[in-house]
Structure formats: structure tokens, C-alpha cells
Amino acid sequence: MAALALTEQSMREAPGLQLATFSFRLQPTQIKARASSWTECKMTMMKQPPRRYWLFAFAVVLAAQILWLPLSMCIYPNQDPPLLTGFRGNTISGIIVGFMFLLLALFLSAGIEAIQRETNDLIRRRAEEEEDAKKIRQFKNFLLGESYHNVRFPKLTTPQFRLGLEYTIEPVRGPDRKPRQLATEMEVFEIVKVRSIAHREVLSPEERREYEAAPIHTGEYYFCRFYNRAWHMGRTNMLKNWHEFYLSGKVGPVQSGFSANHFLGTDTPPPKSKQLGRLVVKDDGMLLEGFGGGNLVEIFKTDTGEVLLQINNSPPKKLYIEEDPYGQVKGPVIENCEGYFPGPARERLIHLVMDEMTKLGEGVPKQISCEDA
């Protein structure tokens, strides 16, 4: 008895349900299209005559054109010359032929318009079917492979949310990782869980209060079904108090990350080192002045006298003055600096660091070139 307890209100809230009950496997997405096509067909028949009317009129005028001379001789047998001959007959014949061409043109134009209407209707239905298939495929992909998604209810509007309230839902899967669903002889219901209000952490107290009177309950499970060209969800499978929704978007939660250097602990200077200075350098190797973004370059000196540079939490890189085995100076070098400050920017960075070391009164150790050695 509970299965038959469909009230008139539930029929109104779930358009297409009554039609689907009597048409068995008729898809709900086709009900609206067929109803609209039948309405358009009736309106077209009321607006203009069908093609057969123009064809019948054309046949009547053609018969009159063929039989007008014998008929005139029968009607007026003593008329000499006949009534419909000469200039008078040519005029009447021309008028009849003009009507024939007019009716023929109307007949052909009616056929072309009918073909255009059928073509446009077919294109429209094909586009709607492709759009519906896309909506179904996107939701199925969410059920199969995603952990959550935001959905919007376009008919649950408030003064603050004119586009509709938005919630975060998550799929319900079984032990085999397949989506849970209720399958009957007539239809299949997908199952989702309403996790929470979407973006709750950024909503104001006034905006949160507007969710309190909404018919959607967070932390509870809902059946989902696609009909009338949209997804709907409800708490029971009787299609009563169901609400239309669509996948609105997906924003990941705020997360803090770290680098692999930090994970391995290689982004810290040696324990017995002293920081000498800090520079904020732009990508072109120039010192940042004022506001803007840049690269943090820190200068350290170890207890053994080595000078180290750390660029944006990178492992410390040795700075030294390179010279050949004969004591000839080649210039300052930063080890393992590939990928940082390429080209002329590297020279500007080295110049800034050397100037900073001079201001601090610190020296840079020398090292013999490995290639020369």
C-alpha cells in the first residue's frame, strides 16, 4: 500500500512520473520533448493549411485550365466566336496559369518549411540528448572516482543566494568501492551523502542563518535520479519533496605544503654557522627596493670559515673565489647554482653578495679550480 500512496501533490512535484508509469520504459528526458513537439505540431496545423490543401487547389485550377475551352463551347454553343477565345480567352488563361504557379509555389514552400521544422526539431532534440548525456556522465564519474563535489540547488534561493544554496556532497560506495544504488524493476536511484554547507568557513553569520530553514539536511543520505533534463535528490524513493541540483564546482580545502629539501632536512645551514646577512633579490639579480616579490638570499659563515648561501630554502651553497694552481684569480663562484639567476642575473647576484661581504668586513675563502687541479 505504501508503494501506491502517490498523492496528487507528489505528481505535481515530480513532472513526468505519471507519464513514465503508464509508458513503462519511456525515459523521463523524452517526456517533455515529446509533449512540446506535440504542442508545436498542433500550433502549426492551426496556423497554416497542410500541403495537401495546396495540392488539391492546384489540381482544381489545372483541371479548369484544361477544360475551360470545351466547357465554354458547351455552355455557350451558339456563341461565335466562343466566349473564351481570342484576347478575352488569353487573359483568362494567363490569370489561371498565374494561380497555378502561385499554388505550386505555396505547395513547395509548405514542404520546405515542414522539412526545416523537422530538421530544427531533430537538431534541438539531439542537442538536448547530448547535454543530458553529458550531465549523466559527469555525475557518474563523480560517483565512481571522486571523494566530494559541490552542488547547487537553483530553486532553493534566498536573498543572499539568488543562484541557489550550495552544499558539498560525497558518493556512497560499498566494500567493493562501487557506488551504492537502489535498483528496482522500473528505475535506478543513486545515493549520496550531503557532507556540509559549501564554503562554510567563509560565510558570514547572516549567510549561515539562511541555510537553517533549507529543506536539505547535512550529514544525511539522499536518493538521486535524473529526470526532466536535470538531476534531483530526495530523502525517499517516492519522488516527493525532491529538489533539482547540478554540479557547481569543486574547491579543495586549504593545505600547507613543504619541499622535498625540507622533508629531508637539507634546507638548514650547518649547526655551528652564523648568519651574516639577508638580501631580497629579484629574478634579474637586482636588489629589491620597495614593494614586490623576490628571492630570499641568506649568507652564512661556518666555524671553519666557509661562506654559504641559501636561496629560497635551498640547501646551503658554497661561495668561494676560484683561482688556478698558479694563484691567478678567476672570480667568485657559487656551487650548484644551476637553475637560479641564469645569465647576467647570476653575475649581478654575485656582485651584490660580494659587496655585502665587503660591508660586513668578512672575507671569502679561495679555492683552486678542480679542472685546473
Residue 136 predicted with pLDDT over 70: yes
Residue 102 predicted with pLDDT over 80: no
pLDDT band at 259; cut points 50, 70, 90: confident
Residue 157 predicted with pLDDT over 90: yes
Which of the residue ranges 76-80, 195-199, 243-247, 321-325 would you say has the lowest mean pLDDT? 76-80
Residue 221 predicted with pLDDT over 60: yes
pLDDT: is 99 or 2 the higher one?
99
Residue 362 predicted with pLDDT over 80: yes
- The string of pLDDT tens digits covering residues 175-200 is 999 999 999 888 999 999 999 999 88
CB 19 within 8 A of CB 27: no
The predicted pLDDT at position 60 comes to 65
pLDDT band at 330; cut points 50, 70, 90: confident
Averaged pLDDT, 142-161: 92
pLDDT: is 327 or 72 the higher one?
327
| CA angle 259–265–268, rounded 5-degree value | 95
pLDDT band at 101; cut points 50, 70, 90: low
- The string of pLDDT tens digits covering residues 29-78 is 444 444 444 444 444 444 555 656 656 666 666 666 565 556 555 655 55
The predicted pLDDT at position 66 comes to 60
Which of the residue ranges 51-55, 121-125, 337-341 would you say has the lowest mean pLDDT? 51-55
pLDDT: is 193 or 2 the higher one?
193
The predicted pLDDT at position 22 comes to 32
Name the percent of the chain lying above pLDDT 90: 27
Residue 106 predicted with pLDDT over 50: yes
The predicted pLDDT at position 254 comes to 54
Averaged pLDDT, 163-183: 93
Mean of the per-residue pLDDT values for the chain? 77
Residue 131 predicted with pLDDT over 80: yes
